[in-house]
Amino acid sequence: MSRWVELLITLGIPILLILLGRFVGGSLERRHYKSIEQRETRFRGQPALSTKQSNTLASIRRAELAIGSVVVSVDYFKRFLSGFRMIFGGEIRSYSSLLDRARREAVLRMKESQPDADAYINTRLETSTISSTSGDEGVGTVEVLAYGTAVVFENVERTRLR
């Protein structure tokens, strides 16, 4: 009898966590993507450029640093799946979607920190992993930082990039 209870606990808890990750984590991800897409359309006229000059001839009236960052982690289900992937090799799709989300979120936060800018030039993206104090529990936790120079052009109406 006690053996059954033991088995139930050792197998049941990971399975519960995997299911929780699959359904709760999955729905959170879909909700996050929806919000990212909404906010991206709002900032469509204010592009983030990785070049040091904007491609218009307008002169810049004001320049200021804009920073946005986000720390994200994968859910239990995806971590479980990636374990299999590690055996066979190949792309770990669940991790790519996580980093895609994180980068887009970081860029959006950078834009939201200076919402009146016409463009964000010299945008840089930096990714760093965060280790946990308790061993390898922090696997799959990354920070994405986006920063750039928010610029405001002279004669905004004429030169705003659309």
Per CB under 8 A, the list member of 15, 116, 124, 156 interacting with other proteins is: 124
Per CB under 8 A, the list member of 90, 133, 157, 158 interacting with other proteins is: 133
Which residues, 6+ apart, have CB-to-CB distance to 94 below 8 Å?
A: 74, 78, 81, 82
d(CA 66, CA 80): 37
Per CB under 8 A, the list member of 29, 56, 159, 160 interacting with other proteins is: 29
Closer to other proteins by Cβ: residue 40 or 154: 154
Cα-only R_g, the chain: 21
Which residues, 6+ apart, have CB-to-CB distance to 97 below 8 Å?
A: 29
d(CA 107, CA 48): 8
| Least distance from other proteins to the Cβ atom of residue 18, Å | 9
Q: Does 108 bind other proteins (CB under 8 A)?
A: no
Largest CA distance in the chain: 79
Q: Does 159 bind other proteins (CB under 8 A)?
A: no
The residue ranges that bind other proteins (CB under 8 A) are: 17, 20-21, 24-25, 28-29, 32, 52, 59-65, 67, 69-76, 78, 98, 105, 121-122, 124, 126, 128-134, 137, 140-141, 143, 145, 147-149, 151
